[in-house]
């Protein structure tokens, strides 16, 4: 089940495990159109976490992500995802995109690191490469 992790939710402590952007503070992840979502099992265990920002366009750097995120913007940008259970990362991305669609988002993109692992993950899960910058790369999911 997909859950929204509020900034007072103890489950936000999972953000310490973020392998992509561990330097981003918890408060930053939950303000200005940004939120943290979790994939929770029936027993209450967190299986995966994704951080999402709502932006007006597709940012290609963290700085652009920070400047362009705002509540109600139409582009869901998944800027970090990790899982604790096999296959949960894929489920997390797809459920987060569906959640974002129900919240009014019309595009679903990533701000991913320039790694082969990130590229394989997104391509294998149905995304297409939009742009490769000097710091990050973007993939787009179509629902």
- The pLDDT tens digits of the residues spanning 63-92 come to 999 999 999 999 999 999 999 999 999 999
pLDDT score of 132: 96
* pLDDT value at residue 55: 98
Predicted TM-score (pTM) of the model is 0.94
Residue 87: how many other CB atoms lie within 10 Å: 10
**Burial bucket for residue 129 (CB in 10 Å: 0-12, 13-18, 19+):** middle
Domains assigned to the chain: 2-141 (3.40.630.150)
pLDDT digits (tens, 9 = 90+) for 96-138: 999 999 999 999 999 999 999 999 999 999 999 999 999 999 9
């Amino acid at each position: 089940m997909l859950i929204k992790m509020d900034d007072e939710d103890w489950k936000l402590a999972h953000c310490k495990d973020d392998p992509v952007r561990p330097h981003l503070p918890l408060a930053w992840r939950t303000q200005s159109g940004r939120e943290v979502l979790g994939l929770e099992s029936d027993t209450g265990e967190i299986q995966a976490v994704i951080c999402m920002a709502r932006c007006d366009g597709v940012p290609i750097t963290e700085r652009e992500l920070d400047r362009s995120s705002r509540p109600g913007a139409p582009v869901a940008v998944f800027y970090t995802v990790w899982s604790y259970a096999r296959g949960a990362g894929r489920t997390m991305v797809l459920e987060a995109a569906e959640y974002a669609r129900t919240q009014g988002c019309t595009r679903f993109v990533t701000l991913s690191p320039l790694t082969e692992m990130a590229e394989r993950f997104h391509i294998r899960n149905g995304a297409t490469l939009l742009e490769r910058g000097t710091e990050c790369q973007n993939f787009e999911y179509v629902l």
